[in-house]
Structures are given as C-alpha cells and as structure tokens.
Amino acid sequence: MEQLNIKALEKKAFRSFFKDGIYDVFLGGILLSFSLPFMLNEFGWFDYETMAIPMIISIIVNVGALAFFVFGKKYITAPRLGIVRFGKTRKRKMMHVKLLLVVSALIGVATLFLTLFKVLPVGENIGIPVASVIFGIQVLIVFSLAAYFMDFTRLYLYAFLFAVSMPVTFWLKKNAAFTYPSLYVSSLTAGPMLVIGWILFIRFLRQYPHKERAAG
C-alpha cells in the first residue's frame, strides 16, 4: 500500500510540472515557426527563391521557444515547485521519450532529404506532398507515445494538431480559395497551444509565488 501511495504521489508531482503551460507555449512556438516561411510568402514579403530571410526568422522563433522552455523551467517553475528526484520507473519513461524524439528528428531529416532529391513524390494532383503525410503520421505516433509515457494528456491533442497542420496547409493551397491558408491553419493548430499555454502560465504564476519572495 505504501509503495502504491509513493507511486501516486510521484505521478502527481510529475504532472504538476505541466501546470505552468511552458510545454504548451514551447510546442505552439515550434509549430508556428514551421508555418512562418509559408505565411511570409503568402503575404508577399518573400518568395520561395529567396527563402533565406524567412528561414532565419523561423529559426529565431524556434530558438526563442527553446530558450523560453529551458530558462522558464529552470528559473520560473523549479523555484516555485521545488526540485523532485523521481524513481527508476519515471526516469526510464523519460528516457523512452528522449529516444522517441531522436527517432522523430531522424525521420524528419530523412524525409526532407528524400523530398529534396525527389525520391518521394510531391503529390501535385491533390496538392499534398508525401513528405508532409509521412511527417504527420510519425509526429502523431511519436507525440502520442510521449503523451503516454509523460502522463501529459494535452499532448494527445497537440499530436493531432501537429499531424494535420502541414497536409491541410498544402491541400488548402491547392484546392481552396483561401488567400492566406497558412495563417488560418496556424491559428487553428499553433493558436490553441499558445493560448492554453499562456493562460496556464499566468495562472501558475498567481497560484505558485516564488518561494524565496513569498518567505520574505
């Protein structure tokens, strides 16, 4: 019984680290960065032959999201919730998540190169590149498994939003009369992550004041 109570407390403590919304903002920022080059092209600011500037902007957003995640967890979440040392089972699950993310990144890079070298078809008839479908499927699988190992329920929704973002964007560009398809898709995919994340983040700051400041 005591062992079960310890596991339940550990699970509760682990889930508490998702209350801050930082994961949500991080994932929303990453997904938004994927869409930025397409959005900038649709706005007429850059074309696909001069992609250096929009790609740099996309990388800056990526780095900003990563910095917010790393420094937010270290300097905002940890001082308020404290540092918890988890057991072997939880650590093993986190290793599974890291392995899944590495595999996902490798599949993504391989898909990109296969597309660049025209090994994978573009799918011009329906407007959906095969690469975007492969990316969506593997993201759906990887993120869903990560949600399971991390007990991060919202990640199932984010897995779906990540998976459909690219195929739907390409399909709308080809088949729909939307002027800014990337903007609409980003608003419906990255948008919910960012909104949920910032709401949770503000609520977290109010609910968990900094321990040192609260003590003072």
Q: HEC profile for the chain?
A: CHHHHHHHHHHHHHHHCCCCCHHHHHHHHHHHHHHHHHHHHHCCCCCCCCCHHHHHHHHHHHHHHHHHHHHHHHHHHHHHHCCCCCCHHHHHHHHHHHHHHHHHHHHHHHHHHHHHCCCCCCCCCCCCCHHHHHHHHHHHHHHHHHHHHHCCCHHHHHHHHHHHHHHHHHHHHHHCCCCCHHHHHHHHHHHHHHHHHHHHHHHHHHHCCCHHHHHC
Q: What is the spatial distance between Cα 6 and Cα 112, in angstroms, rounded to a whole number?
A: 45
Q: What is the spatial distance between Cα 155 and Cα 205, in angstroms, rounded to a whole number?
A: 22
pLDDT in tens, 35-88: 887 787 777 776 655 666 777 788 888 889 989 999 998 898 888 877 666 667
Name residue 164's amino acid. V
This prediction's pTM: 0.80
- Quote the tokens at residue 209: 């004041």
How many other CB atoms are found less than 10 A from the CB of residue 63?
12
* Per-residue pLDDT at 136: 85
Q: Is the pLDDT of residue 215 over 60?
A: no
Q: What is the spatial distance between Cα 103 and Cα 96, in angstroms, rounded to a whole number?
A: 11
pLDDT in tens, 150-205: 888 899 999 999 899 888 888 887 777 677 888 888 889 999 999 999 999 999 99
What's the Cα-to-Cα distance from 109 to each of 33, 37, 134, 211, rounded to whole Å?
16, 18, 12, 43
